[in-house]
A = this chain, B = another copy of it.
Amino acid sequence: PVIAATANIVAEDLTFSYDFNDQRFDLVVVLGGDGSILQAARQMGMSQSPVLGINCGRLGFLAALSPDDFLSVWPEVMRGGSEVIDHIMIKVTVFRGGEAVADQLALNEVAILRGAPYRILDIDLYADGHLATRYRCDGLIIATPVGSTAHNLSAGGPILRRNLQAIVISPISPHTLTYRPVVDSAETVLELTVTEPYDSTSVVVDGRILSSLHAGDRVRVERADQTFKMLEVPGQNDYRTLRDKLGWGGSVNSKNAVD
């Protein structure tokens, strides 16, 4: 209602089924958590419009506005006083026999995950055409800065400031003690192959299976031409979000102090 009074609503979509096709909008307002925003990014596909996320449950990294915050911010948004920030997305393409059999944009991360029978995977990583290393691991995550606080963080990866033109490569349970997450330039083109994939070894994009993985498949990961456009909200900044969302910082949440 607040929105309707001040803006021209082109469409409402409560079932995650709207076909954005090649349309662009001034603003897409997403009600829901971070998962809803990932879903919106997926639906918009090749034509990303600016997004404003309102979170009705607990605050997220992407959906950072509470309904109350929204009401106070909305007039400013309508005056055009908010900046749209571009966040890098990565394009994931699965090649089989030289042909692209699946592709998708990722806002958070692409992961290669083993499933049953839960044997070790050998994943070869190529950077700009050169073999970088062979990971022996349970899986591998390549995350954007926005996605660095999601699965990458769980797997032991670092936090990337959102405006970085970079990606982070983090192995899951590496069977070699010398591995550490690597932060590489967003311009580097990465390719992944799995020597002996199992039946359920999969390429997973933003938490959804994109494709199973066969022997000989190549997964290309590169910076997308598209960016994820998020409306900048006054008073927000990356470090504050880390504090609020991760309990990052002893003075803010004394429960986590060790001493």
Contact = CB atoms under 8 A, between A and B. Distances in A.
Interface of A: 34, 58, 111, 113, 115-120, 127, 130-138, 149-151, 153-161, 163-166, 168, 172-185, 188, 200, 202, 204, 207-209, 237, 239-240, 242-259
B154 A156 contact: no
Contact of A250 (B119, B134, B181, B184): B134
A160 B165 CA distance: 12
Contact of A116 (B202, B246, B248, B253): B202
A153 to B, nearest CB: 5
B207 A119 contact: yes
A249 B133 contact: yes
Given A138-B172, A150-B259, A204-B118, A247 B181 contact: no
A237 to B, nearest CB: 6
A85 to B, nearest CB: 13
B180 A159 contact: yes
A163 B185 contact: yes
A246 to B, nearest CB: 5
Given A138-B172, A163-B185, A253-B255, 11 more contacts: A115-B118, A118-B207, A120-B259, A159-B180, A165-B165, A168-B183, A175-B258, A175-B259, A177-B177, A179-B248, A244-B255
Given A159-B180, A172-B138, A250-B176, A202 B255 contact: no
A133 B256 CA distance: 14
A63 to B, nearest CB: 12
A257 B157 CA distance: 15
A183 B119 CA distance: 25
B166 A183 contact: yes
A256 B160 contact: no
Given A118-B204, A135-B250, A257 B183 contact: no
26 contacts: A58-B254, A113-B118, A118-B204, A118-B209, A130-B237, A132-B239, A133-B242, A135-B249, A150-B258, A154-B173, A156-B173, A159-B183, A161-B182, A161-B185, A164-B166, A166-B183, A174-B258, A176-B256, A176-B257, A177-B246, A177-B247, A178-B246, A178-B247, A178-B256, A244-B255, A246-B256
